[in-house]
Structure 1
Amino acid sequence: MLELAQDHLQFETVETSEPSMLQKILTTRRRETGGDDPLPVSTLQPRLAQPAEARQVPSAAQVQAIKCFLTKCWSLEISTKEYAYLKGTVLFNPGKGKENDCNHH
């Protein structure tokens, strides 16, 4: 996050559609039974080698929190040296600071 803030990365979000729970069940069942039915297009797309929980799309609230954090960093006009100190702090204290949000000053 600090790297994104330091590089002044601006991003936009777009909505994506996830396969329905029924489609996931049918796709899994076809693979297990070796059925000859054609697979839905979504199963033909390449899968990432990451665990499912690592591929989850952030919620609107999480995206808003990220944008708020970036905006706060930019407003502070943090220097390159200060970003280096902050990154070191996060690296050596990874569990600290998780309770912060945009409303705290």
Structure 2
Amino acid sequence: MLYDDGYTFDDANIDEMPLFSESRRFVSLDNYQKMQLRDYIRSCIREHWEDSGSFPKENELVEIRKRTMSVLEEDWHIALKNDKQWRQFFQDNVKSVINNVNAN
């Protein structure tokens, strides 16, 4: 028995279909994704330094981390879990920028 409700989907547009994010832990990201995240975090910290002349405070770092996770979800459709490895990666990159600026 054929089911025919009168609808045809011949003109389905792949660009209009919903995309669902995949929830992942930081450790499951590949090296390229980690490199992109590193560059994004560092550019956000440098930008803050250049705009304000100071490093971000704790609440600003939290917002930068949230924004980074949001960009990751929008661009790669990956909902990154806020796990220990991710927070450590974020902090390590913040420290790297701070140390680099202080050294110069």
Give me the TM-score of the superposition, normalised by structure 1.
0.27
Higher strand residue share? 2
Between 1 and 2, higher relative CO (CA 8 Å, sep ≥ 6) is seen in 1
Give me the TM-score of the superposition, normalised by structure 2.
0.27
